[in-house]
Each structure stands twice: as C-alpha cells, then as structure tokens.
Structure 1
Amino acid sequence: MASSDKSAAAQRRVAKEATARTRLIGGLLRRVFGVESLRPGQRQVIDSVLAGRNTLAIMPTGSGKSLCYQIPASILPGATVVVSPLISLMQDQLEKLEEIGIRAAQLNSSLPRAEELEALESIRARSSGIIFCTPERLAMPEFLALLQASQVDLLVIDEAHCISQWGHDFRPAYLGIGAAVAALGRPPVLALTATATGDVVADIGQQLGVADLNVINTGIYRPNLHYQVVQSTNPDEKRAQALERVRSETGVGIVYAATVKAAEEMYALLEAAGESVALYHGKLPAQQRRDSQELFMNGARRVMVATNAFGMGIDKADVRFVLHLQVPANLEAYYQESGRAGRDGQIANCTLLYLQADKRLQQFFLVKHYPEANELRTVYDAACKLAAGGPFAFDALKAELGEAAPAMLQVCLKLLKDGKLLKQNRRLAWQPAAGEPSAAQFERLAGVYADKQERDREALEQMVGYAQSGYCRWKLLLDYFGDETPGFERCCQCDNCLAPPQAAFDPGETFAMPAPPAAGPQIEVGSQVKVAKFDIGTVLSVAGDQVTIAFPENTTKTFMAGFVEPV
C-alpha cells in the first residue's frame, strides 16, 4: 500500500474513533449524569485524559471539574483514584455518584472501622470504579500496596495548587503524591485547580515528577461576579459597613474573617442584629462544624461567617455574595474564596472591606517556620541511623526524632529527596543516598523556603495593591494570573469601572484612563487634599502612584497621585 493510502487510512481510523468516543461520551452524559452538553474546556480535558496524557486543568469554580474525571472513570477499565484534601467533599461526591449508580469508595480518618474495612474490600475486589482518599492515606504503604495490586488507570489530584510550594494553600501532605505516582507505575495524572500562576503550573509538574503536563486553561473570568472594595478608616466603621452590607444583600452569602476572634465577633454582631447566621472555624468541635455547614447548605441559615477553613469544595450554587472582612494573604486566596459566589451563573457580589492596618495581620501570619539547615541535618542523621537496619517508614523516623522532630517533617524529607540525599522505594520506605553531604548542601536546600517567604511577602503587596487600585478589578486579576483574555479591557461592572477614580462617568460611554498630570508635592497619610469635582478629603493610604482618600459621608475613592492636590 502506498504511503499516501496508509496516511489516509490512519486519518479515517482516527476520525472513526473520535466519532465513536463522542457518541459514547454523549450517551454517558445524558443517560448517567443527566447532562445535555459539556461546558467549555471539559471536552478538551476528557479527551486529553482518555488519550493517556498527564493533564493539568485550570478551570474556574463552578465549571464542572468533577465531570472531567467522572466521564473517563466511566470509560476506563481500571480504577480512578481521586486525591482530595476535604473529607466532606469526598462524602458529597460519593453520595452523588452512588445516586446515579456508579460504585465508589472512600478512605479517610472519619470512617468507622467497619466502613473502612468494607471500602478496602471493595478496592481489593475491584468493584469500585472511583476511589476517594486523602493525601495522608495515599502515603500509607499498606494502602499503596493495595492500589498496586489493583489496576489504577487514572490518578486525579483535586485542588492541585496545594501541591505547589508557591501555591497559596500549600499543604505538606501533598508532597508525597509524586512518590505515589512513581510507585503506582506512573498512571496518567489529572490535576485540577481553579487558579495557578505560571510558577505554580511549573512547580506542580516538578513536584509530581511529570515533565509533560498538558495544561488546559479555560481562563478565570466569570462576568457574573461583580467585584468592589470598600475602604474603612477604623475597626468600628468596618463593623458597621459589614453589618450594612449583609443587611442590604439579598440571598445567601459567606462572610470571611482572617482570624477565629474576628469570625466570632462578626457572628455575634450579626446574630444580635437578628440575622440568620451560622459560624464555622477550625477551633470548633467537629460536630459543631458539621452542624453549621449543614444549616447553611440546606438553607436553614442565610449567612455563614467563617475563616478560610470553610469553603474549599463546598457545592452551593446559589451564594449571592461573599464579603471579606480583612484582606487575604494573596490574590490566589481571594479569587478562590470570592469565587464561591455565583456558581449558578447568576449575578453575585464580591466585596472586600479594606482597612490599611489589616495588612499587619497578614504580615504576622507570614512569619512561619520553615526548615533550617541544622534541622535538615538532624533529619538526615536520624535517617542514616535508621537505615542501618534497612529502608524505614515515615512513622519510624517520626518516632526516632520524637519531640525533636521539626514541625514540617514532610517538608524536610521532600527537600532531602529533591536534593538527592534521601530516596524512596516502591513501598515508600526511605533510605539515604550514597555519599556524605556537605554543610553547603543543607544550606542550599534550606534556601528554597527562604525564597518562598520572600514570594509570600510580594504576594501580600500585590493583594494590597489590588485593594488600593483604581483600575478594573477583573483586569487586575486577569493580569495577575497571566490570563490573556482577547480584547478584554474592563468588566464594566466592578466599582472602579462604574465609578472611575478620577471622575464619575456614564457606564454606557467609552472610558479610557487619561494620562495623569505631572506629580505634584509629596502626599502624606492623614493630610487634607482635594481632587477636581470632589470635596476635600483625608488621605488614608499612599501606594506607589495611587492615593486612597476618605471624603465626607463615608465615601472613599482611589486616585492617581497626579490628580491629588494638598490643601
């Protein structure tokens, strides 16, 4: 057969397979999942997974990431393992799958022993098509051995930004997933997240040991989310603003606080004002957290006041507003948390109450303890001692170190592994690599997290810049995430688009930011200033060329410095 005939035959075969796959996926959507059509990006992800490619899907909250693994799991002959950070999300997904006749199992610390044994037996019998587990469970050698004896055709990592040391919600337990991927024979990986900067994308691939990630980014823009920032001059004013906002908003909403104390105070304020409100934070007893979540989810409470412990994976489509009482640590966290509004596609308001002093709170949170060179040396020496008896488990090392164990032992081990000072086998047991490391090697490895702290500080400054900016809120978010949405200039719905800082304008008119006049005298915080077409006001903050001013009647606006004149 001529080469041209072979090529034509191959093309016809590919086309035939694609048509058959489309019919199969369409049938599954309608018959099993009750969905008529896929949303943008979903088919690309599904095709990539079914082609056996390692895939990173960056899709906004509410865009249907679950279907991206549920459809392949219904087609692939082996099991799909889904690694999730939240037990409540696992349970929710499990119940929904069982309602439509898909067998699934979950393994996590909340299960009674009888249910755990039942789940393990279903995996052993290969009767569960989808297996949900926490990253901690995946790191257990006995569980990994069970999966190795099964046929794992796909490993899914939900909330994949947690695996990256540059991500906003870095979780040390996720660091073991790369070793598990290798131990399972490197099945195709599907990593799912709503946000990822370029650095995070690269780091996810590195941490997983996957060099050929097919990145499918559907963009972060959600036009139904209307962003605004309300400037506060003091804590009392901010509390009053928060109460007024909650009262004026229709429908259900979430109020985020940066600390447990702030959450409890806001909960008490809203409850005293007669609002239908629930409270959620990490220091509440587990049963109380579950009760609060259930009251909010079933509509028995209109408002949830919470720390960031609440929200990841919460599937409540009709949230009409998200209010932040304090500035978050970075724009990734802010987008993730505010993005829990409007999952039904209807208009929702995302408001940040910005008090300049709140920045100090986040600066306090940034002072974290990361491994130092001497701690890495301690862990390495303990590993060498244990290795005299052969490869050892993580728990043995933890017991050997006892109270001397660094708070982030998993981070230490991952650093030592990345530095090729320790290695793991297929059973996830550890042992030292050959050779004696130098002091400089430990110093170099510790420097990785010194870099992270600097990045964290820069990320906070960018978050503050967003809060003080006079430009389109969506444009700022798109630029931060490197989302080059074609033709996007402004959303026409955020506070800065509807009331540009330098002058009011008709939203129906074309708006372009004019070049500001040359910079005038030095503007200082607390000084009196004036702006054309506005009254005299008080300077709240100065950030680069942007000045935030409080005017009479609690009006606050941000201007380019060139438009501001001292009084």
Structure 2
Amino acid sequence: MTDAKTSAPTTREHAPYRSVIQRRVHKKISALSEKNCAVVLKGIESSFIGDENFPVDLDAAKDNPLNYFTRLIDGGRKFFTHEEFLLMSAFVLNQFDTVRVLNNNVFMEQYPIAATFCAATRKILFEHFTELEDDFADLDAPENFGTVAKLIDLFIGLKDCGNFLVGVYNDEHILSDPKVTVVNLFAAADVELAEVDSSAAQNFFDLREETDFVDFARTIIFDAPEKIFVRTNNYTGDGEKLDARLKILHANFSAQTEIFRVRPEEFQRDFEHRDAYTEILKRHWGYDAFRKFRVYDLQKLDDGIKSTFAVSQEQIISDIVRQVELCMEGENFRDVFVTAPTGAGKSVIFQIPAIYFAERDKLLTLVISPLIGLMNDQVKNLTLKNYLRAETINSDLSPILKEQILGKVAAGECNILYLSPETLLARSDIEQLIGDRTIGMVIIDEAHIVTTWGKQFRPDYWYLGDHIRKLRRVQLKRKGHEFVIATFTATAIYRGPEDMYDDTINSLHLRDPITYLGYVKRGDIDITIDKEVFEAGERAEFELPKYRDLRNAVIRANINAQKTLIYFPEVQLIERARLRLQNDGDFDGVAIYHGQLSRDDKRESYEKFLNGDALVMLATKAFGMGIDIDDIEIVMHFAPTGNVCDYVQEIGRAARRKNLRGEALYHYDRRDFRYINRLHGLSAVKPYQLVAVVKKIYELWNFKRRSNFLIDAENFSYIFDRYGDEANSVNKVKTALLIIQKDFEARLGFSPLTVRPIPLFADGFFVINPATQKNLRRDFGNCLTEIERELHICRVNLQTIWERDFRKHSFPQFKYLLYTKSPELNFNARYPLEPALRVEINFAQDFRAVFKNLFGKFKAAVQRSTAAGSYVSAAQLSLSLVGGKILTYRAENISDILIASIVAYRKNFSRGMHAVFAEKPFRDGLIHYRFNETIKFYFAWVEKIFSRIVDETHNDLLYIPNANGMTQRLSGRCSAFWRRWAF
C-alpha cells in the first residue's frame, strides 16, 4: 500500500493543465455577455491566464485594499483571484455590475491555495490555524495579528501540505450577494472508473480525508501521470461528493491520465503461525489450542447475503502482531476492528499480542475501558493467570497506589495498563502516564459505547478519537513511528440508519481496519418478547403488571435456584422495585446495582450475586459489560434500556457457562418507551442550545482575540444548567462543543474550532506570610483570601495573577513554573509562596473506635506473621479485618492500601531499614510479604499521623503545608487513606 502523501506516479513531459483547464476557462469567459463584469478565479491559479501586467500580492492587498484595487484596475487586469476578491469585495461589487466566480468544481470544499505570503504573514497564519500538538502549548498566549487578521478572515481553515496549501474559504456571505453568480468550470459526469486489485497497483493514493483528494487532483492536473490509482474505501468525508469529483476528473482528463479505483483488500484466511502465541496461551491460560468462532463474510454481507465462516483467535492475533510490526518499521499499517460474541475470548485476542510485544520489544499496551469493575476484573484475571505486569489506574485507587503504578509503568514493570477515557484525556502529555515508554497498541474495549455513551452521558468517549490521533502524532515525532488501534466489542450495528461500524471507525480515526464481525446469534439463549397481558377485569395500570412480573421472577429464581438478572432503564425504577419487594417480604436474595451506589456497595452486590448469596440482581446497564459471571440463567428487562445493540449486549450475560441454557424475557408494553424517550431527552442537546454555544464562543473570541484560549464550562451554565445538575451541565457543554466541531468537519473538512477537555483549576492553596500577602494585594488586587490564620494558609486566584503580568506563558505553564519554583518565573523570587494541600475529610461519629479496631486487627495479623517468619499476602491479611460492616471486598481494599503505605514508608522514611519486609510472587499469582521486627516503627508512624490528622482537621478540612515536597505527598496519601475508613 502507498500513503497518499508518498505516492509518486510517473509523469509525462507536458501536463494537460493548459490544454484542459485553460481551454475551459477561456470558453466560460467568452460565453459571458455582460459588459461591466468582473471575473473571479476560485481554485484556478492565476498564472495560466497569461496576464503578467499586475502580479498577485495579497500582503499589499491587505495593507491597503483601496490603493491595491485602484492600481489593479489602472493596470488593466481583467480578473481577480478569489483571495483578492474576498479582500476587496466592497470595491469590486461597487465598481462592477456583475461578478462571475469561475469555480473549479474538481474540488469540493477544500481548495489548493496558490497565493504566496511573506514569511512573517505565513508564520502568523499557520500559528492561528494549526492544531496544537500539546494541549497546553501557547494556550491563551497573546497574539498580535495586526493586518494579517484580514487574511485570517478569508479562511475557515488552512493547512500546509508540504509543497502546497489547502484551505476552506470563508466566502458564503459574499457569494450570496445578488450581483455574484458562481459558474462551475465542469459539467457533472456519469462515467465509471475501472477497478483493479491492490496487487496491480504498486503505488496508489489512499484517500482518507478531503486534503488527500486535493493532492490527488493536483497530481493529475499538474503532473499528468499516464496512470494513477486511487483507493476510496477509507474515505471519511462525503462519499457521494467524492465519487462525483472522481467522475469529473475521469471524464475530462482521461486522454492524458487513466484513473483506476483500487478495490478493498480481500479477507485473507491464511496467517502466519508463531509458536510464541501458543506458548503464551499455554503458560498463562493453560490451553494448548486457540478457540474458533464464526464471523460474517463482509463482501457477501454488503451484497445482502448473510454467510459466515470460522476463524481462530490466533488469526486475529496474527493480524494484530503483523500490523504492529509494520507500524514499528515505519510502513503503512492497518488498524483492527473486532466484534465477537460473548464467550469468544476477546480479551485473550489482545492480551496475547500485548504480552508478546512486551517480552520481545518492551512495548506498552494501553487498554481503554468504560467501567472500573471491568478494568479491575481484567487485571485480577490476568494476575490469577500468573501475569503480574498488568495494572489499572482509576478513581477507586488511592493517590499512593496510583503513584506506585505510574512508577511501575515508567520502569517497565507494567506492560498492560487499563485506563478510563477520562483518565487518558486528563493527561495532555502522555509522558505523565507512561514516562518514556513506547506504545505498541491502544485497545478500545467495549468500543460500541464510543458512539452510544459518547454522545450521551460520557462525552469523553467521543473525544477519545481526536486525543488518540494526537497521541499518534506525538509518538511519531518522539519515537519515529505511531501505534496500532484495535477495537473490541460484542455488538455493533453494521450499516443501516443506526450504523455503529462506520461511526466508530470515523470517530476513532481508524486506518483501513481489518474487520472481523462476529456472528451475533446465540443458540443457547431462548428469547421471549411478548405483549403484556392483563388479567380479566384488571385496569391497564402501567407499572402494576410490571411489578407483578418482577415479583414472580424473584420467587421463581429463589425456588429454582436460577440466577436472574433484571435490567431497568432508570435508578428510580430500581428503588421503587426494591421498596415494593421489601414491603411484600420478597427482597431476600435480591441485590441491586447502579451508578449512584458507592464503590463498596456496588462491589458487595457484585460479590453476593457472584457467589450465589443473592440469586436476583436488579441493575441498570452499569452492570453488564465485562461482568465475569458465567452461571446467569435468566436475563429479564423491566423496560428497554437502549437500542437493539444494548439489548443484545445485555442478554448476552446469560448462559456463558458451557452446557448452560439461558432465557431472555421481556413483556412489552407500548408505554415502556417513555423511559428511552426520557433518557434521550435528558442527554440530547437542542438546536437552540448549539446556536447559543456558538454565539458564546464568538463572544469570547471577540473579547480574547486569539486562536487558542481557555473556556470554563461555567461560561455556558445559563444555556444548560436548568436544574442545578452541574455534572450533567458540564457533559452537555462538552457534547455541544464536539457536535459543532464534528459538524464543521463533516461539511467542510475543517472546523473553525477544535475542542480539548482539559481539567484546570484557577485557585491554589499556599502558606503566605502576612508581609507577602500585603505585597500581593498591593500588586494584584483582591487575588487572595486567608482561610487559616494560624498557618497563614491562603486561597489564591492564580488566574488573576497570570492575566496581570505573565501572559507570555500559557496558564498551565505558569502554574507549573510556580509550583516547581522555577527561576524562569521571576514571581517566585519576589513573592515567596509555599504550596499547601487541602484535604476534605468526613469523619464518622465512631471513627476513633473504627480506626482502633481495624488497625489493631491488621497490626496483630502482621505481628503474628512476623513472629512465625512466614510470608503472607494482602488478601490473607484482609481476612483479619472481615466482620461487622467490613465485608470481604472492603477488607481487601483496606489491606491493599495499608500494604501500599508500608511501601511508601520504607521508600521515604526508613531509607536505612529496607528490610522492613521482603516480597516475592507465589503460585497463586499474588505478591506475598515477610515482615521484619522494624515494622513496629511503621505502626507508630501511622498512629502518630492519625492523631495529627484528627487534631488538625477543622470543619472537615485539613491543610498540609508542603515544607520540603515530601510532606504533601505522604500526608496527602495518609489523609486519603484514612478517609476511606470513615463509614
């Protein structure tokens, strides 16, 4: 394959540019009958006209348009370039009766820009239009456009493509003038391009976006190759427009250049077997052979024929490995798109290549996953399979555990890192997460939610594709190659009005993905969907029959010992169902699971359902993807939770164990869809809101007058925040901004705005002595408030200080220099500020007794292990904590945090006592520890820190000065650690 940017077809000596374009232009001009008519050339270079009396000089035109226009008319020039016309439209429209814009309609929305600019102008133009590689680079930095602003206003977007420029004109308002008429250079054509296999085309243009097509068309027009090959199946723009332009090119330039369309590559069933794959499978999964599952034949499927064939997991593994190898070699590579039914072993398909490349090339694999439970389960399962180099970073973890995991990643001790999209997007610089590691693959697990949740309540999933595309560019710059994206899901709608396949490919910017669409239908699940039946004389009350069916399902599950999962579209429905079951005395053996529960409560419900203590689970769709429970027999829907894809995904929880038969039940009532309509209504962004967002952005741009600037979601609160739901309002702001961006990209190929969700905080907490406080107020106004008098802790509005004197730095750069006390920032020498940490702590009424009880049990367990000289795991230590309100999962979590704090204590406070414990992996896949007598110093340290936290916490707030950089880290960890015990 050949990338569009690197193809170089052989050319003839004489290009057909004049013989085709020039004849066409002169023919159009000669057909004009108006006497006082101006001719404007759009997408046509001025050089071919042959009028050299007055060359184009846009710098002169922008500096003094009237003088330039007068000189042009006096010089006898007979035409205007499109750029000249836009700059001087007022004079042209006043001087001439009519204006005819000759439009080179070979091009679509993007045109090659033939204008030349001086170096200074060019620099400003591209600083304005170029998307930032670093989200923080020059952000909110002042810009001095001067008269170049007139040139900026000519374009919606402008891109440097190496040897030529491509732009989208900002001309709609001018072209709508009654005096202006657009005349297309070419008539529409109805000719078909000949097709060839990729093997017959050594070099071809792979059109992915409209810019690639501009390059392709210019090659035909200027270079006149004898033959040229083009592949269009990866094109992400308007396919109908592209086909129309290809036909115009073929109809008008075929005498000089034969154009061939390259067919998509056929599916290859042969693959390269490597013993290493089977060895990894045997070592960690205990199997000798890979599993097979059925997939659709895509070529037949596109023709309306549903035909399937069997593929092995190893074939997909081989494809992934080959594409990563091509990527690392700097060759053209393809991404991978896989849908596979539940039970096909999707995780194995990407985990084996991840392990393979980690062991062979030390490559890191990032796995983007939507749910914390799913990430935790995947890591736990790998650990049980004796693979100890997989970790997850999510909001469940304490700061100390997160820092330890980041250290493992940077040191090469973690090779598979599970992240949520929010965690990935929160780090603008990927090195904050992975250090200097090289990414081999980014896996998008449960990829169908990119286009479902991403457009509803998890907008960060929709931003994911743009962010990963930026990470690819960053790695290409730093490492010399990009990385492969592989997506996995159980369900994705292929084609049709709700097409999720193409939507996902476009959203994630996948490159010509090798696609496996798994056969969806499960032969081991009986599906029953029928209309709700009312008993004789019963009123058609909406929810009463639903609750009757629910109660019967609970009774049936408990009598027959059948695990039953019942889905609800809303949390409030679950709560009403719980109350009814409790009132009827039928809630025994029932668990509930939804997003509003605490982490521990969700885990408790999961564990009860997993081990059979609860046979019925009432859940929203939060309980589903990746839930590893294989003995669910019945999946019932109280009401629909989404579209068909969601339904198939959810009933797929049933009968995952071999030889188990499942049931999917849904008693339909036409009123059920009120819930779906309400969910869509809550998440939908209305057209008037989009208009209001655009107006607000324009207002902010007029005020700031620079291309890159920070906006606070609160700026848009009046548009969305009608009910005081701040989180939902922020999500809607993100969604609205991305809808606007995507709409421009779809229509024009460029967007005048590019949105990046970046979490930044304008306020900071510092220890500031009274004299410095006085100086700050004198120099920066009301920028601080003293909130703790004894330690002189102040809340400082850093944005006020930055806007006053430090705009030469971006705001994030200013904060970084301030907190690192860099001499580059002269503010640090003039105003001594000591950063402080603010921690919110909510103590329960009996927190002292809880601490004494739990820490005492943990200490006793460690002391018993120390006396015996035996190794013990964190899980074994957690057993001593179980009892009362402390269930197994919570005990394990507390034990993990305590072990992590021991590691931190050894590292930071006991440098001379590294033997405080020894650690080594055991066959159970867990790390085991043998403690030394010096562990007593750790216990004393914890008890001392606990007393300090209690004494220094006022109004649920604790402020910790950062005297030497160490206190903040460790005290913050401890405070976060104790906060988890407050119940």
The alignment's TM-score, normalised by the length of structure 1, stands at 0.66
Contact 1:167 1:200 (C-alpha < 8 Å) held by counterparts = no
- Within a 5 Å distance, the mapping from 1:551-566 to structure 2 comes to none
Contact 2:410 2:435 (C-alpha < 8 Å) held by counterparts = no
- Within a 5 Å distance, the mapping from 1:167-246 to structure 2 comes to 171-185=458-472, 186-198=482-494, 199-232=499-532, 233=534, 234=540, 235-246=543-554
The equivalent residue for 2:185 is none
Counterpart residue identity of residue 413, structure 1:
L
The one-character-per-residue Cα deviations of 1:199-226 (angstroms, maximum 9, x if unpaired) are 1110111111124121101210110011
Contact 1:80 1:153 (C-alpha < 8 Å) held by counterparts = yes
Aligned counterpart for 2:272 among listed residues 7, 13, 18: 18
The equivalent residue for 2:322 is 51
Residue 417 of structure 2 aligns to a residue whose secondary structure is strand
Counterpart residue identity of residue 605, structure 2:
S
Q: d(CA) in 2 for partners of 1:26 and 1:284? A: 42
Matched, 1:33 2:293: no
The equivalent residue for 1:435 is none
Q: d(CA) in 1 for partners of 2:576 and 2:707? A: 54
Contact 2:568 2:619 (C-alpha < 8 Å) held by counterparts = yes
CA, structure 1 residues 90+387, in 2 after alignment: closer, same or farther (shift >3 Å)? farther
Residue 283 of structure 1 aligns to a residue whose secondary structure is coil
CA, structure 1 residues 58+242, in 2 after alignment: closer, same or farther (shift >3 Å)? same
Counterpart residue identity of residue 697, structure 2:
Y
CA, structure 1 residues 98+183, in 2 after alignment: closer, same or farther (shift >3 Å)? same
The one-character-per-residue Cα deviations of 1:315-359 (angstroms, maximum 9, x if unpaired) are 101111111111333211111111111111320111002222222
Q: d(CA) in 2 for partners of 1:196 and 1:15? A: 22
The equivalent residue for 1:123 is 409
Matched, 1:410 2:741: no
Contact 1:179 1:424 (C-alpha < 8 Å) held by counterparts = no
The one-character-per-residue Cα deviations of 1:50-102 (angstroms, maximum 9, x if unpaired) are 12131111111232111111100011120000001111111111122223133
Q: d(CA) in 1 for partners of 2:394 and 2:547? A: 39
Q: d(CA) in 2 for partners of 1:270 and 1:107? A: 38
The equivalent residue for 2:419 is 133
Counterpart residue identity of residue 163, structure 1:
V
CA, structure 1 residues 381+239, in 2 after alignment: closer, same or farther (shift >3 Å)? same
Residue 647 of structure 2 aligns to a residue whose secondary structure is helix
The equivalent residue for 2:685 is 370
Q: d(CA) in 2 for partners of 1:245 and 1:50? A: 47
Residue 66 of structure 1 aligns to a residue whose secondary structure is helix
CA, structure 1 residues 301+204, in 2 after alignment: closer, same or farther (shift >3 Å)? same
Matched, 1:423 2:719: no
Matched, 1:66 2:363: no
What is the CA distance between 1:231 and its match in structure 2? 2.7
Residue 115 of structure 1 aligns to a residue whose secondary structure is helix
Q: Which has the higher contact order (CA 8 A, sep 6+)?
A: 1
Q: d(CA) in 2 for partners of 1:260 and 1:15? A: 46
Contact 2:335 2:484 (C-alpha < 8 Å) held by counterparts = yes
What is the CA distance between 1:304 and its match in structure 2? 0.6
Contact 1:161 1:169 (C-alpha < 8 Å) held by counterparts = no
The one-character-per-residue Cα deviations of 1:353-398 (angstroms, maximum 9, x if unpaired) are 2222222332233324315332331453376369757745xxx423
Residue 430 of structure 2 aligns to a residue whose secondary structure is helix
Kindly tell me the number of residue pairs found equivalent between the two proteins. Answer: 411
Counterpart residue identity of residue 409, structure 1:
V
Q: d(CA) in 2 for partners of 1:285 and 1:400? A: 27
Matched, 1:84 2:365: no
The equivalent residue for 2:619 is 306
The equivalent residue for 1:348 is 662
Q: d(CA) in 2 for partners of 1:16 and 1:64? A: 21
Contact 2:338 2:516 (C-alpha < 8 Å) held by counterparts = yes
Q: d(CA) in 1 for partners of 2:341 and 2:695? A: 42
Q: d(CA) in 1 for partners of 2:270 and 2:644? A: 45
Contact 2:654 2:662 (C-alpha < 8 Å) held by counterparts = yes
Q: d(CA) in 2 for partners of 1:245 and 1:207? A: 40
The equivalent residue for 1:497 is none
Aligned counterpart for 1:397 among listed residues 686, 711, 714: 711
Give RMSD over aligned pairs. Answer: 3.1
Contact 1:183 1:428 (C-alpha < 8 Å) held by counterparts = no
Contact 1:182 1:426 (C-alpha < 8 Å) held by counterparts = no
Q: d(CA) in 1 for partners of 2:453 and 2:380? A: 33
Contact 2:440 2:483 (C-alpha < 8 Å) held by counterparts = yes
Matched, 1:381 2:698: yes
Residue 653 of structure 2 aligns to a residue whose secondary structure is coil
The equivalent residue for 2:563 is 252
CA, structure 1 residues 355+269, in 2 after alignment: closer, same or farther (shift >3 Å)? same
Matched, 1:150 2:450: no
Q: d(CA) in 2 for partners of 1:224 and 1:321? A: 12
Contact 1:324 1:352 (C-alpha < 8 Å) held by counterparts = yes
CA, structure 1 residues 405+130, in 2 after alignment: closer, same or farther (shift >3 Å)? farther
What is the CA distance between 1:261 and its match in structure 2? 3.1
Q: d(CA) in 1 for partners of 2:314 and 2:570? A: 40
The one-character-per-residue Cα deviations of 1:467-524 (angstroms, maximum 9, x if unpaired) are xxxxxxxxxxxxxxxxxxxxxxxxxxxxxxxxxxxxxxxxxxxxxxxxxxxxxxxxxx
Contact 1:252 1:318 (C-alpha < 8 Å) held by counterparts = yes
Question: Runs of 5+ in structure 2 lacking a partner?
Answer: 1-267, 293-310, 324-333, 473-481, 535-539, 721-728, 745-750, 761-983
The equivalent residue for 1:537 is none
What is the CA distance between 1:168 and its match in structure 2? 9.2
The alignment's TM-score, normalised by the length of structure 2, stands at 0.39
Contact 1:183 1:427 (C-alpha < 8 Å) held by counterparts = no
Contact 2:453 2:459 (C-alpha < 8 Å) held by counterparts = no
CA, structure 1 residues 391+344, in 2 after alignment: closer, same or farther (shift >3 Å)? same
- Within a 5 Å distance, the mapping from 1:96-115 to structure 2 comes to 96-99=381-384, 100-115=386-401
Q: d(CA) in 2 for partners of 1:277 and 1:328? A: 20
The equivalent residue for 1:159 is 446
- Within a 5 Å distance, the mapping from 1:287-302 to structure 2 comes to 287-302=600-615
Q: d(CA) in 1 for partners of 2:675 and 2:468? A: 38
